[in-house]
Amino acid sequence: MSDNIRFVQGNEACVEGALYAGLEFFAGYPITPSTEIAEQLSSRLPKIGGKFIQMEDEIASMCAIVGASLTGRKVMTATSGPGFSLKQEALGYAIMAEIPCVIVNVQRGGPSTGIPTHVHQGDVNQARWGTHGDHAIIVFTASNHQDVFAMTVEAFNIAETYRTPVVLLFDEVVGHMRERLVLPQPGEIPIVERLRTSVPQGVNYHPYLPREDGRLPMSDFGAFHRYNVTGLFHDMWGFPSDDHEVVHDLLRHLMDKIENRTNQLAKFKEFYTEDAEVLLISYGSTARSARDLVEQRRRRGESFGLLELLTLWPFPNDLVRKKAANAKYVVVAEMNTGQVCQSVRLAVDQPERVFLANRIDGEFISPDDIHKTVRLIRGKGV
Amino acid sequence: MMVEKTRFVFSGSGGQGVITAAIILAETAVLQENLNAVQTQIYGAAARGGATRSDVIISDSAIYFPYVEQANVLICLTQEAYNKFSPIVRPGGLLITDTRYVKIERAVDAVQKELPMYQTVMDKIGKPIVFNICMLGVVTALSPVVKPESITKILEERIAPAFLDMNRKALELGFELGRQSMG
């Protein structure tokens, strides 16, 4: 048996992906159901010359990774709902100051401390709008360990490419479940390294002066150049500005660098979507039950299909509209009161054919739970 | 040997090693037998006590829904676990209980094996800590999805050398107990 096969929890698959992508610094505060990420990294990172710090709380953890990233390290933190709430302010700072970082939220039930050991997917809209002010954000998810690994690598790559925080929104079932993970060989998945400025030491460096392709080369803070970093609107020097043109251009830049690339960032998987009369749309662990149901119904000759979203934000409107165009019924399966369902209704033509199949009691949604909703919609009784 | 999917539910009380046994079985299937396996567990807030349950699905094809609704093989190591979970055994399935801990109270449509696993471990080894490995031996004999020597290989990787012999012996005892019960 080859030694690149593991039998691990989803949280461990995330750790493997982060290390593969070049994670060097982790700061966190353990919380169920994300704790295994911190636990594993506390032993793995020091062995490769990285740093692991257990901070006094989630606020400090988020601030620590933002600072470490600015000094030139690839960084990550991991938490669950209550901790994710606390991280929102510094997350907004990272958006504004354009500091690459990866934030993992292994979702449990909320609001507040909610139901720590059970599964929910209630943080989808928080991941989008948790921090204040207009902004854009990138949020990835996954339903199986191979994808947890791949999307974690992708999160680091995208964070570096666009100088932005990327949120990995997993959930308790994927985080704690154990299954096979095949570790890719080094080089098998391309890794994006930090783009550093070619401006030599002693020469003025403009931290927020974009290159022609729009990218902003970074300078390891404290190493070669003196420059300012702030959460205030700022000019190309990084100094605060209330000039309306500076404010307008920076906000547009923060939005456009992500939202203009919505289609390119839209990662997804599709199963039997071409001729699907009933198109399920799902993500995270719920997509496992949706896939199970689709395979069951296909064996019986029924035209079920599944669109599994791996990118939740920016919401892949064009993709969803296109894939849903020919479906008679579009059923969004998720474990919340309809957060992605709402986005799907906005994306498709004829939103009246979009239905929600959900479960919000902390029990994992089953293929049968989804099927009952589909039967009701089609007038077939339960 | 492999049916399309074999669904196991391991249940007992926190501290009996029920979840560890489930993980070892699933890990064996993936790493030693090149099968697919998914292991999940129901978490409560407490670290010990209470009814513990871990589900394992082993298959030669992909596994999507990771929990067990009807178990082909149900193992109950406490009365509480038996009372709670015995209805989920699939008709024609297999129910394994320990004679010391569980009193069978109703007939289910399944092959019922009441075996003195705990007593055998105490008589022959004297250490209750390998009760779960003995149980795994029984499971391997009665539901031959993975080979006992494959489990031994995983034990060799997971367990400190000083405790390995004890675990090997517990596995063998369980395997024999399971085989004898087949008549």
What CATH number corresponds to the domain at position A346? 3.40.50.920
Per-residue pLDDT band at B3 (split at 50, 70, 90): low
Which runs of consecutive H residues, i.e. helices, occur in B36-160?
A: 79-85, 117-124, 131-142, 148-158
Q: Using the beta-carbon criterion (under 8 Å), do B27 and A177 form an inter-chain contact?
A: no
Tell me whether residue A145 is in a domain. Answer: yes
Question: What is the model's pLDDT at position B1?
Answer: 46
User: Which tokens hold the place of A252?
Assistant: 């547009």
CA-wise closest residue to B36 among A183, A182, A15 = A182
Please check whether residues A41 and A160 belong to one and the same domain: yes
SS3 B183: coil
Please check whether residues A281 and A159 belong to one and the same domain: no
User: Which tokens hold the place of A86?
Assistant: 């606390």
Task: Report which secondary-structure segment, H or E, holds A103.
Answer: strand A101-107
Q: What is the rounded CA–CA span in Å between residue A220 and residue A99?
A: 11
pLDDT digits (tens, 9 = 90+) for A7-19: 999 999 999 999 9
Q: Using the beta-carbon criterion (under 8 Å), do B66 and A288 form an inter-chain contact?
A: yes
Tell me if the bond preceding A111 is cis, omega within 30° of 0.
yes
Task: Report which secondary-structure segment, H or E, holds A349.
Answer: none
User: Which tokens hold the place of B102?
Assistant: 């569980």
Tell me if the bond preceding A33 is cis, omega within 30° of 0.
yes
pLDDT digits (tens, 9 = 90+) for A127-174: 999 999 999 999 999 999 999 999 999 999 999 999 999 999 999 999
The one-letter code for the residue type at A129 is: W
Average pLDDT over residues A175-189: 97
pTM score of the predicted model: 0.97
End-of-domain residue from the set A133, A159, A182: A182
Nearest C-alpha of chain B: how many angstroms from A252? 42
End-of-domain residue from the set A156, A182, A208: A182
Q: Mean pLDDT across chain B, nearest whole number? A: 93
Average pLDDT over residues A13-39: 98
Please check whether residues A177 and A290 belong to one and the same domain: no
Tell me whether residue A75 is in a domain. Answer: yes
Tell me whether residue A349 is in a domain. Answer: yes
Please check whether residues A139 and A13 belong to one and the same domain: yes
Average pLDDT over residues A244-255: 98
Average pLDDT over residues A181-192: 97
Edge-to-edge strands, sheet with B36-41: A5-9, A178-182, B36-41, B51-59, B5-13, B71-76, B89-98, B110-115
Chain A and chain B share a number of CB contacts under 8 A equal to: 62
User: Which tokens hold the place of A91?
Assistant: 């997350």
Tell me whether residue A142 is in a domain. Answer: yes
Per-residue pLDDT band at B46 (split at 50, 70, 90): low
- CB atoms inside a 10 Å sphere around CB A36: 21
CB nearest to B65's CB, from A1, A180, A292? A292
Per-residue pLDDT band at A3 (split at 50, 70, 90): confident
Domain count across chain A? 2
Per-residue pLDDT band at B50 (split at 50, 70, 90): confident
Q: What is the rounded CA–CA span in Å between residue A22 and residue A6?
A: 19
Q: Using the beta-carbon criterion (under 8 Å), do A178 and B40 form an inter-chain contact?
A: yes
For residue B34, which residues of chain A lie inside 8 Å, CB to CB? 1
Task: Give the number of residues written for chain A.
Answer: 382
Q: What is the rounded CA–CA span in Å between residue A48 and residue A206?
A: 33
CATH at A145: 3.40.50.970
Cβ neighbours of residue A177 under 8 Å, at least 6 residues apart? A9, A10, A285, B38, B39, B40, B66
Domain residue limits, chain B: 5-181
Whether residue B63 lies within 8 A of chain A, CB to CB, comes out as yes
pLDDT digits (tens, 9 = 90+) for B167-177: 999 999 999 99
User: Which tokens hold the place of B68?
Assistant: 């067990």
Q: Using the beta-carbon criterion (under 8 Å), do A118 and B43 form an inter-chain contact?
A: yes
CA gyration radius, chain A: 21
Nearest C-alpha of chain A: how many angstroms from B163? 23
Please check whether residues A304 and A168 belong to one and the same domain: no
Tell me whether residue A210 is in a domain. Answer: no
Q: What is the rounded CA–CA span in Å between residue A252 and residue A248?
A: 6
Please check whether residues A316 and A175 belong to one and the same domain: no
User: Which tokens hold the place of A307?
Assistant: 């669109």
Burial state string for A49-77 with b = 16 or more CB within 10 A and e = fewer than 16: ebebbebeebbbbbbbbbbbbbebbbbbb
Tell me whether residue A212 is in a domain. Answer: no
Nearest C-alpha of chain A: how many angstroms from B161? 21
Beta strands (DSSP E) in B15-135 are: 36-41, 51-59, 71-76, 89-98, 110-115
Question: What is the model's pLDDT at position A43?
Answer: 98
Tell me whether residue A309 is in a domain. Answer: yes
Compute CA distances A198 → A29, A72, A98, A193, whole Å.
36, 14, 19, 15
End-of-domain residue from the set A152, A182, A212: A182
pLDDT digits (tens, 9 = 90+) for A283-310: 999 999 999 999 999 999 999 999 999 9
* Whether pLDDT at B47 is above 60: no
Per-residue pLDDT band at A195 (split at 50, 70, 90): very high
Per-residue pLDDT band at B42 (split at 50, 70, 90): confident
Q: What is the rounded CA–CA span in Å between residue A247 and residue A153?
A: 33
User: Which tokens hold the place of A87?
Assistant: 């991280």
Tell me whether residue A228 is in a domain. Answer: no
Pairing state between β A75-79 and A278-282: unpaired
pLDDT digits (tens, 9 = 90+) for A50-85: 999 999 999 999 999 999 999 999 999 999 999 999
User: Which tokens hold the place of A344?
Assistant: 């799907």
* Whether pLDDT at B34 is above 70: yes
Please check whether residues A31 and A148 belong to one and the same domain: yes
Q: Using the beta-carbon criterion (under 8 Å), do B66 and A180 form an inter-chain contact?
A: no
Nearest C-alpha of chain A: how many angstroms from B21? 13
Per-residue pLDDT band at B49 (split at 50, 70, 90): low
Domain range for A130: 5-182
* Whether pLDDT at A244 is above 50: yes
* Whether pLDDT at A259 is above 80: yes
For residue B38, which residues of chain A lie inside 8 Å, CB to CB? 177-179
* Whether pLDDT at A187 is above 60: yes
Per-residue pLDDT band at B183 (split at 50, 70, 90): confident
CB nearest to B64's CB, from A5, A116, A291? A291
Compute CA distances A368 → A304, A323, A364, B69, B156, whole Å.
14, 24, 11, 10, 40
What ipTM describes this predicted complex?
A: 0.95
Fold of B5-181: Pyruvate-ferredoxin Oxidoreductase; domain 3 (3.40.920)
Nearest C-alpha of chain B: how many angstroms from A314? 27
B 18-57 → A contacts, CB under 8 A: 23, 26-27, 30-32, 34, 36-41, 43-45
